[in-house]
């Protein structure tokens, strides 16, 4: 399973895949939109992908 996480960083927001930073985003909405596109793209190829949000402590929040 591929996990895309939306994380808050000191400079803004980012989308991470399996603990590796993929792309920075200026705002939370942009990060969520990008991650949702990636989840859909992998889903269209038959891969299982999910979107998670991380808390300030780095724990998955759903």
pTM flag (> 0.75) = yes
Q: Using alpha carbons only, what angle is made at residue 27 by residues 41 and 8, rounded to the nearest 5 degrees?
A: 90
pLDDT of residue 13: 92
pLDDT of residue 62: 47
pLDDT of residue 59: 52
Would you mind telling me the total number of residues written for the chain in this entry? 62
Stretch 1-8: mean pLDDT, rounded? Answer: 91
pLDDT of residue 54: 76
Predicted confidence (pLDDT) per residue in 17-52, tens digit: 877 767 899 899 999 999 999 999 999 999 999 999
Query: HEC string of the chain?
Result: CEEEEEEEECCEEEEEECCEEEEEECCHHHHHHHHHHHHHHHHHCCCCEEEEEECCCCCECC
């Amino acid at each position: 399973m591929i996990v895309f996480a939306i994380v808050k960083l000191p400079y803004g927001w980012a989308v991470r895949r399996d603990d590796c930073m993929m792309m920075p985003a200026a705002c939370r909405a942009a990060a969520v939109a990008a991650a949702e596109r990636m989840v859909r793209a992998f889903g269209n190829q038959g891969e299982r992908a999910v979107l998670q949000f991380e808390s300030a402590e780095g724990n998955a929040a759903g």
